[in-house]
Amino acid sequence: MSRLAPLSEEPSSEDNSNNRSKKGQSSWRNWLKNHFNLFYNKKSDLKILLSVLGCPLFPLSLHLKEPLIQVESSAQYIIQHYTAATACRKLEGRVKSIYAIGKVKMVMVEELASSSSTSTTTATKPHEGCFVLWQMIPDKWLFELVVAEHKVIAGSDGNVAWRHTPWLGAHIAKGGTRPLRRSLQGLDPVIVAAVFSTADFMGEKRMWDEDCFALKLSLDNTALADRSDSTADIIKHVVIGYFSQRSGLLVHLEDSHLTRIQSPGTHPIYWETIMGSRIEDYRAVDGTMIAHSGQSTVTLTRFGNNVKAGPQISRMEETWTIDDIVFNVPGLSVDCFIPPEEVRKEYSDKDLDWKSALHR
């Protein structure tokens, strides 16, 4: 696969091959070619979990701004409350890098729904693993996750975001550089404040026994087009953050997107992906409140004209904990975030194509 989908990059059923000339083939086309059988192949559960839950990117790029002096909207008031509750402003200008290490437990929970409104639910054996994250403010990061001897790596050098899996190799993220979604799960409050400062206030909702304010972010047509291609068209992508009225902290993060997939001569198929993360166990790290645990649930719903049995649903769950987090890591430099050779070559080729187009 030559692209990294931002939230739910559905994995290819192909094993890692010595023939690297074939790895540039789009996973969407592999996905269609195999008629989605991967989602019902028990041996592929771990690949699906790692592809979807392992290292998704946040859908929006990061644009750090100066601290608010005058509050002009409800969303800005809520974010100002959040920055005060986390005390994250003290990190700005003082913290240059972050290191975090933690554990995960993932499980596939399938729900097969039909037009008769009946469903069956099965759960697979959970998979446990660990991860490490290095981050250099503002837009360089490297994430490594190991689960059951499978290692997934993702990163950004500030110019390009990428990911590497044993079965797909290294590939560039489509849609520009973006932060790792895990950083917004209470791990980096500065990023949370930056991305939600431009959100829309959607009202109040009770989440996890907390009265919360809801802030909504929606991708515009340009951002959606940047992440679409001739086979997969992302129709919408919405992110909602729920901030506790009592504590001011982010307690739930949810994003959902709808993708239309169609290859020549086939009926369109739609995939709705909803990922919700409960964020909890905030503790002070050098005076800043950082979330140390949480649970994420992803629901994938497939429907379309050729899905005769009605919508088909797969659900995945993850619990995660942070064991340690350190600010200003000694010895961490920009050289630690250099992408793999395949990514550098692909990025260089794309840059040359772009420059050539300008001179035509």
Looking at every residue in the chain, the average pLDDT score rounds to 82
Smallest CA-to-CA distance from 282 within 292, 294, 268, 272 is with: 292
Q: Which residues lie closer than 8 Å to 38 by C-beta, 6 or more apart? A: 10, 11, 12, 13, 31, 44, 47, 48
pLDDT at position 113:
55
Q: Which of 13-17, 53-57, 137-141, 287-291 has the lowest mean pLDDT?
A: 13-17
Averaged pLDDT, 61-76 = 76
Q: Which residues lie closer than 8 Å to 275 by C-beta, 6 or more apart? A: 7, 8, 56, 181, 254, 255, 256, 296, 297, 298, 299
pLDDT at position 356:
41
How far from 87 is each of 190, 252, 329, CA to CA, in Å? Answer: 10, 19, 20
Averaged pLDDT, 310-325 = 92
pLDDT at position 28:
42
pLDDT at position 15:
42
46 pLDDT band (50/70/90 cuts)?
confident
Is residue 30 scored above 90 in pLDDT? Answer: no
Averaged pLDDT, 298-306 = 83
36 pLDDT band (50/70/90 cuts)?
very low
Q: Model pTM?
A: 0.83
118 pLDDT band (50/70/90 cuts)?
low
Is residue 29 scored above 50 in pLDDT? Answer: no
Before 138, cis peptide (omega within 30)? yes
pLDDT at position 258:
94
Averaged pLDDT, 208-212 = 95
Is residue 31 scored above 60 in pLDDT? Answer: no
Is residue 357 scored above 70 in pLDDT? Answer: no
Smallest CA-to-CA distance from 132 within 159, 165, 155, 107 is with: 155
Q: Where are the domains of the chain?
A: 28-62+72-348
Is residue 140 scored above 50 in pLDDT? Answer: yes
DSSP string over 41-107: -GGGHHHHHIIIIISPBPSS-----PPPSS--SHHHHHHHHHHHHHTGGGGTTT--EEEEEEEEEEE
Percent of the chain scored above 70 by pLDDT? 77
309 pLDDT band (50/70/90 cuts)?
low
Rounded to whole angstroms, the Cα distance separating 204 from 187 reads 24
pLDDT at position 307:
56
Chain position carrying tokens 């009265």: 211
pLDDT at position 5:
38
Is CATH 2.50.20.10 what the domain over 28-62+72-348 is classified as, yes or no? yes
Which residue has better confidence, 319 or 21? 319
The dihedrals phi and psi of 2, each to the nearest 5 degrees, come to -100, 0
Percent of the chain scored above 90 by pLDDT? 56
pLDDT digits (tens, 9 = 90+) for 150-182: 999 999 999 999 999 888 889 888 888 899 999
pLDDT at position 279:
98
Averaged pLDDT, 132-137 = 95
Which residue has better confidence, 19 or 54? 54
Is residue 127 scored above 50 in pLDDT? Answer: yes
Which residue has better confidence, 42 or 263? 263
